[in-house]
Structure 1
Amino acid sequence: MERQYKHLSSPITIGRKTFRNRMFSAPMGGTDITNDGCIGPKSAAFYELRAKGGAAAVTVSECMVHKTDGSHAYRLDESILNSLAGATYAADAIRRHGAIPSLELSHSGMFAGTYMTDKTKQHELVQYGPCDTVRADGVKVKALDEELITEIVHAYGHVASLAKRAGFEMVMIHGGHGWLINQFLSPLFNHREDEYGGSLENRCRFAIRVLKSVREAVGPDFLIEFRMSGSEFTEGGYGLEDGVEIAKMIEPYVDIIHVSAGTYQKTFGITHPSMFEEHGRNVFLAAEIKKHVSKPVATIGGLNDPEQLEEIIASGKADIVYMARALLADPFLPRKVVENRPEEIVKCLRCFTCMAERAATSTRRCTVNPLIGREMEGDEIQKAPTKRKVVVVGGGPGGLYAAYTAARRGHDVTLYEKENELGGILKSEQAISFKHEMYELSGTYALLAKRAGVTFKMNTEATKELIEKENPYAVIIATGSTPLVPPIPGLKGDNVIVVNNYYKEKDKVTDHVVVFGGGLAGCECAIHLGMEGKHVELVEMRDQLAPDANIRHRPLLLAQVDKYVQAHTGLKGLEVTPNGILCEDKDGNKVTIEGTTVICALGQRSTTKTVEELQDTAPFVRVIGDAAKVSTITNAVYWGYHAALDI
């Protein structure tokens, strides 16, 4: 057959190893790391799904190589019961699906303890780095002496040899993102005056010693990949010019140069490009480095579009493309590319639910993929023992995913949508420049549902009489929510647009806007309007903005608010006028926030009336998403998926 993306789908041979395509699964931390650092069965299943989905290589992350790193992460140590066995099962789970298993070897250096659930224990650890210093959070850092440096260098080699014994066929040495090797490479962290500091050659010495140690331990034919930041993108760090020189210095000791970006904490939204950044915003780093080296170069950073991925490989910007979040959203993205099914790819929204959950609860979750973190429950939809008639009411993300899942189980599924377009609340995202993929999600879900056999009845309100006439066995109510518009004088005036309707009325918006409500939806709309060049004021009654945003997205969101919006907190809106909003502060003082257009973003409320009407229309009735509780797309999709599995 002719591959639609022939460059992306083509194999690549590196050393004596042939990879089936150019799409690799980037390092992502697992979900059930034991107290002593073993890879648990949930994690093995987590990585296995990416191999099953067609990635050419899957990297298990992160394995800390030495006791001086107190992070709660993987360990590979013969003295730990089940350590080698857990690694072996993980490598086998990846390899049996045709992917090359790789293990990321790392040391957090002065940021050891980052992955600890109890962050207070960081202060009980001795943190080691290139130099004596005190971290921004008050944790003291002790400089590594020559004896400990040598011990850590040997540890890299020893752990690499164990990885090889366990069945891994490649190791990735983490030399970027502000971890220990990068701390030695970077003038931001490295102020040593001995042979490891000063010149770039000296700063590369530790990395080269590590790579030599690994090579000696694994032999000439085992693949070594070096992950580096092409640029640190922060004051005091190194830029691309030094990134090129670092790549040239380490090239003789590696098989693949993996070019990432950024440094610890300072560049989170660049290292993991947020929705406010362009897709592939770091590709130029790999493209430049590739001009100066002969070894294969990999790139990474917010990549999920096969057209862009194909162009990167075809134009020679990189030899390999890595994806992490994209393969959470759709583990089968590589297979869909190779099998010419790109329209079925469920794209990552870059919402950071995955990374926020890991930080908050030490679990994995994905907004658009309910399998993530729960792969052991099964990644294949099993046919139901009895075919049933199922009605889904509401064509938002939860309803669509429920219908798609029920149809795959073999049920006769009909979805009723009262409007002429699917998507529910996601329809409003089409006008927000950086959230268009969220709008596209409903189209992808709808396509998958149609191909699974779902019947759609548009412009049809599902009344009690209609549903009872259908006589279904199961009804899934996914009618979502409606905007909250409290009885504030003037809030229904001609100069007011409800945020959900902005996409239909954007031409009415003037150049001076007041966004009324500083939750997530209000902040994102305000940022978008500010990006368009409008003067934007934001009014919020609470003391903080966007408390409903997750802990990874919120700091990046607030940075954009600071850039584009004039925000006012602690103000209660009393009246909307043609010239803005009359407010009252905590001291009872009246103040007017001026603007000729007001965007109402005061929240949502569940459609309880519809739920009550349809509650007894079938033997099996399940209420999901905002109809049950105003929450997140994540919950709507997850609840919809499991409602369908329960039928």
Structure 2
Amino acid sequence: MQRKYPNLCKPITIGNVTFRNRMFGSPMGGTDITADCTIGPKSTAFYELRAKGGAASVTVSEVVVHPETEASHMYHLDLGTVDSLASFTYTADAIRRHGAIASVELSHSGQYAGTYLTDKNKKQGLAQWGPSPGVRPDGREVKELSQELIDDIVAAYGRCAGLAKRAGYEMIMVHGGHGWLINQFFSPYFNRRTDKYGGSLENRVRFAQEVLDSVREAVGSGFPIEFRMSGSELFEGGYDLTEGIEIAKLIESRVDLLHVSAGTYQTGFGITHPSMFLPHGSNVYLAAEIKKHVSVPVATVGGLNDPAQMEEIIASGQADVVEMARALLADPELPKKVMSNRDEDIIKCLRCFTCMAERAETSTRRCTVNPLIGREMDGTEIYPSPNPRKVLVAGGGPGGLYAALTAAKRGHKVILCEKSDEIGGILRGEQAIPFKYEMYELGVTLGKLAKDAGVEIRLNTPVTKEYAEKENVDALIIAVGSAPLVPPIPGLNGDNVVIVNNYYLEKDKVSDSVVVLGGGLAGCEAAIHFAQEGKTVHLVEMRAELAPDANIRHRPIMLKEIEKNNIQVHLGFKGLCVTKEGVVCADSNGEEHLVPGTSVICALGQRARRNVVDELMDCAPYVSQIGDCVKASTITTAIYQGYHAALDI
């Protein structure tokens, strides 16, 4: 067959190992790290899903090589811990049996030890070690590593690498980026040593060279070693791309693949893992420049999810390999779909950070668009129902679409009714905001997949009690969503007011001076969009903080965007009335203020359509209610509930 993306699909040999394509699964932390820091069965299933989906390699992350000086709750690999070696072996088997190469990331966080502890208070009792002594921004003391400890850590990298090879891993990744210990040695900001590890760049690279020599001695020649580095630290005082190139040149003889990422702990989460506010592939330029100066293959990473863009990266010689993490959570079958020319079926990552927020909150994983993630052991296959039924889904938003798709895959006869002329529900409104466009695309893709699976979609068809009873279905899934909350504020129904959900239909009504009424997630993101367009924006919120409904990873990045775009924020302001000049608000003392703006965006939240739900509850033998019509919530909740409602029929 003729491959639509021939460069992306082309095998590559690294060391003595051949990888089936150029799409690698970059490191992702597991979901059930045991008390002894072994790989739990849920994590094995978590990694296996990406192997089944066609990735060329899957990297297990992170193995702490020296727990004595790095007490984060991450994986340990040793012979002394019962089940440690076995858990790694079972995971390597699970990856390899699907044709992917099992890799493992060896790591040490240095002065950021304890980062992955769920109980952050435990960090108080840890000793943080780094190249040089100092005090972290949070007040914790950093101790300088002695030569004896450096030697011990270097040897530990080799021991772990040898055990990983013994367990069946066919590639080792050494983590030298993102502000972790090896990066700390590279960085003039962190490394102020005066011995052989400090001062000149050659000295600052010495620790990495010793680590790589230790790993090479353990695994032997021809065994692929991948080195992950930040092409630039991207903050004042850190090393820049010019030095990043020199670092790459000084280590290339010791590695088989240079994995070029970006940034460091200092720069913030949204650069190393590009947020929705950055272009896709925003860090590719670092890999592309480093590739010009080295002879080993180079991999790039960061917010990549579009096959056309990834094909161009490889075809143009910017990199030899593309690596993905979040994109393979959203759609583990992305590589398989690329290989079989089914790229239109890819469910794209939204870069919403639900996956990483969930890990920080509950030590599990979850994905907004993929209900399997973190729950792979519950079953990843959809089996046909032994008793196919007639199913009616009321509502064509993300939850309803996912329910219809899942029910159709089970062999049921499925009708989906959508009261408007387009599927997608609340996601339709996102098409007008460029950095949220993939949310709109999600509705389009789910609609295509549902039709392909045999779902009959009826547009302009509201589901009433009479309609449902006339269809005489065996199962009814109610997914009628929510309606915008529009309180009886005088003037809020005026011509200068646009409901945030309807902005995509009324873009021309919005002037260059905007008041966004409501500082929740939707209001904040709308305000950022208007500011990016060059408009003057005021953001009004009745509560004492913005966007408490945003997840803990996305929220700080979004707040920085609000600050960067000079959005004027008014907290503790309650809207009293809307005029042609703006919104009259009362502050916390009851004093009135006019917040100026000739256009007003109403983003005051959503209210569940309970009246519709109540009408339909007795219209079929099996009735399930999902998503926003239960309680105004998230895409994550709607899709998860829709998937399981269909499985329960």
Task: Give 1:139's aligned residue.
Answer: 140
Q: Does the Cα contact within 8 Å between 1:130 and 1:192 map onto a contact in 2?
A: yes
Distance 1:194 1:274 in 2: 39
CA distance in 2, matches of 1:591, 1:74: 55
Shift of 1:310: 0.3
Cα deviation, 1:561-591, whole Å, max 9, x if unaligned, reads 1122111101111111111111111112111
Is 1:2 the equivalent of 2:2? Answer: yes
Structure 2 distance, partners of 1:193, 1:361, is: 42
CA offsets per residue over residues 412-431 of structure 1, 9 Å max, x none? 00000010000100011010
1:166 deviation in Å? 0.3
TM-score, normalised by the number of residues in structure 1: 1.00
Give the alignment of 1:4-403 within 5 angstroms.
4-67=4-67, 68-403=69-404
Aligned amino acid, residue 398 of structure 2: P
Correspondent of 1:629 among 628, 631, 642: 631
**Per-residue Cα deviation, 1:203-233 (whole angstroms, up to 9, x for no partner):** 0000000000010111112111100000011
Distance in 2 (alpha carbons) for counterparts of 1:451 and 1:381 = 16
C-alpha contact (below 8 Å) 1:353/1:550 kept by paired residues: yes
Report the equivalent of 1:577. Answer: 579
Q: Distance in 2 between matches of 1:494 and 1:297?
A: 55
Paired amino acid for 2:166: R
CA distance in 2, matches of 1:532, 1:251: 43
> Match for 2:380: what amino acid?
D
Moved more, 257-266 or 517-526: 257-266
Matches for 1:388-427 after TM superposition, within 5 Å = 388-427=389-428
Q: TM-score, normalised by structure 2?
A: 0.99
Counterpart amino acid of 2:640? Y
- Taking the aligned partners of 1:42 and 1:523, their CA distance within structure 2 comes to 36
Name the structure 2 match of 1:645. Answer: 647
C-alpha contact 1:233 1:267 (8 A) present in aligned 2: no
CA RMSD of aligned residues (A): 0.6
Q: 1:265: how far off?
A: 4.4
Structure 1 equivalent of residue 521 of structure 2: 520
Q: Deviation digits for residues 400-455 of structure 1, max 9, x if unmatched?
A: 00000000000000000010000100011010111000000000000110111100
Moved more, 127-136 or 365-374: 127-136
* CA displacement, residues 5-45 of structure 1 (integer Å, 9 cap, x when unaligned): 00000000112111000000000000000111101111011
Task: Read off the aligned partner of 2:446 and give its amino acid letter.
Answer: Y
**Paired position in structure 2 for 1:597:** 599
User: Number of aligned pairs?
Assistant: 647
Q: Runs ≥4 in structure 1, deviation > 6 angstroms?
A: none
Q: Deviations over 1:95-114 (max 9, x none)?
A: 00000000000001000100
Q: C-alpha deviations, 1:579-624, integer Å up to 9, x for none?
A: 1111111112111101111100000000011101100000110100
* C-alpha distance in structure 2 between counterparts of 1:487 and 1:151, whole Å: 68
Residue type at the aligned position of 1:495: N
**1:248-267 deviation per Cα after TM superposition (whole angstroms, max 9, x unaligned):** 00001011000000001423
1:238-283 C-alpha deviation (Å, 9 max, x unpaired): 1100010000000010110000000014231110000000000000
Q: Is the 8 A contact 2:88 2:167 kept in 1?
A: yes
Q: Which residue in the other structure is 1:611 paired with?
A: 613
The alpha carbon displacement at 1:122 in A equals 0.5
Task: Give 1:494 shift.
Answer: 1.1
Q: Is the 8 A contact 1:234 1:267 kept in 2?
A: no
Equivalent residues of 2:248, 2:290 under 8 A apart: yes
Question: Secondary structure of 2:60's match?
Answer: strand
**Is the contact between residue 204 and residue 246 of structure 1 (CA under 8 Å) also seen in structure 2?**
yes
What is the SS of the residue equivalent to 2:267?
coil
How is 1:453-464 mapped onto 2 (pairs within 5 angstroms)?
A: 453-464=454-465
Q: Matched residues in 1 for 2:602 and 2:200: separation?
A: 56
Contact 1:286 1:297 in 2 (8 A): yes
Provide the C-alpha distance between the structure 2 equivalents of 1:7 and 1:91, rounded to a whole number of angstroms.
27
Q: Are 1:580 and 1:595, in contact at CA under 8 Å, matched by a contact in 2?
A: yes
Query: In structure 2, what is the Cα distance between the partners aligned to 1:10 and 1:609?
Result: 55
| Equivalent residues of 2:233, 2:267 under 8 A apart | no
Query: What secondary structure is seen at the aligned counterpart in 2 of 1:482?
Result: strand
| Amino acid of the structure 1 residue aligned with 2:515 | V
Asked if the contact 1:69/1:109 (under 8 Å) is kept, the reply is yes
Instruction: Report SS of the residue matched to 1:62.
Output: strand
Find the aligned partners of 1:586 and 1:117 in 2 and give their Cα distance. 36
Q: Counterpart of 2:544?
A: 543
Structure 1 CA distance for aligned equivalents of residues 218 and 9 of structure 2: 33
Q: Displacement of 1:379 after TM fit? A: 1.2
Mapping of residues 424-435 of structure 1, within 5 Å: 424-435=425-436
SS at match of 2:275: coil
Could you give the per-residue CA deviations for residues 485-534 of structure 1, whole angstroms, max 9, x where no partner exists? 00111111111111111110010111111000000000100110010011
Q: Which runs of 5+ in 2 are unaligned?
A: none
**Is the contact between residue 123 and residue 139 of structure 1 (CA under 8 Å) also seen in structure 2?**
yes
CA distance in 2, matches of 1:77, 1:621: 51
Instruction: Specify the SS of the correspondent of 1:371.
Output: coil
Unaligned runs of 5+ in 1: none
Identity %: 69
Which amino acid letter does the alignment assign opposite residue 13 of structure 1?
Answer: T
Cα distance between partner residues in 2 of 1:336 and 1:605? 38
Distance in 2 between residues matched to 1:448 and 1:259, nearest whole Å? 35
Preserved CA contact (<8 Å) 1:478 1:624: yes
